[in-house]
């Protein structure tokens, strides 16, 4: 049935009234739940505020961390520069010189014509004239000071400083406190003096008792001196003591003599470290003697007996070890020209005979 204009207008009014009714209903519903809507709004605002705060804090903190890292790197680089600073150019960084007490602005602190680094490297005191060798106490003190400041610097530059930083066994010579110069020889892993000691003073400059065969000083210049065990050890009973050897060297232990024998004996089973008084180690003598293949260059310097007599020069070569056998005797080694191939091991009174001394490097 076709609608009339009146019917159409009536329908529009009906829709309008329903819309208004729904709006009124919504307003009434909002009024009833006003608190809930406010709470939801507050929660949404709070969540947004918290999210914004953390976003800002994270970015800002990252910037602070980056700045801190940059600051730490700068400080690290600055410290590295400080450790490499060598104001006087003598090879000793300023922080090492401060630890030692030398002048970081003067390459030659004692003004004796030798640089501080060079003096240390050759066993001299950089705070005293070059004629003043470092004492054992000073050596120990310098090692401690440098090691505490920078252990790697000590190991790299001064682990062998008492014999000179460029010491090469078999190529370099060594001087004792009297100024006597000795050649060196490398045998296996050991470094030995190639000559018998002839020194007349200990490392502190105090005189020691040295005998010359038949009391002839010219023979001492050729064969070296003869020393009682206590004199050779500088009155120490410590096995491996420096004794009267140059700084950086020691009176060899009984066991170190055995290492030499065993090496030159080509690991011969006849080299027995427990043998006493008997000949051992096949073919050793011809390797140790003058002109022998080892380069040891033994010298048949003989001995001085307790009664003051001198015997066996040209026949016997005898050297102390630093190893006591007991409270009265100490071990020594000997070669006899009448025994063509082997070496002997025995003991003698510490207060009795005077024998030769060969030194081994630390």
| Domain segments of the chain as ranges | 5-82, 94-163, 174-361
CA 276 to chain centre: 37
Q: For the whole prediction, is pTM greater than 0.75?
A: no
What is the model's pLDDT at position 162?
47
Mean pLDDT by 10 residues, the chain (362 residues): 48 48 55 63 69 58 46 48 78 88 88 78 74 67 83 72 63 92 94 97 93 98 97 96 95 95 76 73 83 93 96 96 95 86 88 95 91
User: Environment class of residue 71 by beta-carbon count within 10 Å: exposed (0-12), middle (13-18) or buried (19+)?
Assistant: exposed
For position 73, what pLDDT does the model report? 42
- Taking only the tens place, the pLDDT of each residue in 161-197 is 544 446 789 988 999 999 999 999 999 999 999 999 9
How far apart are alpha carbons 142 and 187 in whole angstroms? 30
Give residue 57's pLDDT. Answer: 53
What CA–CA distance (Å, rounded) separates 82 from 2? 106
In this structure, what token pair is assigned to residue 39?
A: 């709470």
């Amino acid at each position: 049935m076709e609608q009339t204009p009146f019917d159409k207008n009536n329908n529009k009014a009906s829709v309008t009234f329903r819309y208004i009714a729904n709006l009124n209903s919504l307003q009434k519903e909002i009024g009833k739940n006003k608190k809930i809507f406010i709470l939801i709004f507050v929660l949404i605002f709070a969540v947004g505020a918290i999210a914004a705060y953390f976003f800002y804090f994270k970015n800002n903190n990252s910037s602070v961390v980056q700045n801190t890292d940059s600051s730490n790197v700068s400080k690290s680089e600055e410290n590295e520069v400080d450790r490499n600073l060598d104001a006087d150019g003598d090879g000793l960084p300023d922080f090492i010189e401060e630890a030692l007490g030398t002048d970081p602005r003067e390459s030659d602190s004692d003004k004796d014509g030798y640089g501080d680094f060079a003096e240390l490297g050759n066993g001299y005191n950089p705070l005293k004239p070059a004629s003043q060798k470092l004492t054992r106490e000073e050596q120990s003190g310098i090692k401690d000071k440098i090691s505490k400041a920078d252990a790697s610097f000590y190991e790299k530059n001064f682990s062998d400083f008492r014999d000179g930083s460029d010491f090469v066994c078999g190529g370099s010579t060594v001087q004792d406190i009297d100024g006597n110069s000795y050649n060196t020889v490398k045998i296996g892993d050991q470094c030995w003096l190639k000559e018998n000691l002839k020194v007349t003073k200990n490392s502190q400059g105090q005189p020691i008792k040295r005998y010359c065969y038949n009391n002839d000083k010219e023979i001492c210049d050729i064969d070296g001196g003869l020393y009682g065990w206590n004199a050779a050890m500088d009155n120490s009973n410590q096995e491996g003591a420096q004794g009267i050897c140059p700084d950086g060297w020691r009176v060899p232990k009984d066991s170190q003599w055995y290492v030499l024998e065993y090496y030159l004996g080509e690991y011969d089973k006849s080299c027995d470290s427990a043998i006493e008084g008997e000949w051992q180690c096949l073919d050793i003598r011809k390797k140790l003697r003058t002109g022998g293949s080892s380069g040891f260059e033994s010298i048949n310097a003989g001995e001085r007996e307790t009664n003051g007599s001198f015997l066996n020069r040209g026949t016997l070569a005898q050297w102390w070890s630093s190893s006591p056998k007991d409270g009265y005797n100490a071990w020594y080694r000997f070669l006899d020209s009448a025994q063509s191939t082997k070496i002997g091991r025995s003991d003698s009174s510490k207060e009795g005979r005077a024998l030769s001394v060969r030194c081994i490097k630390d």
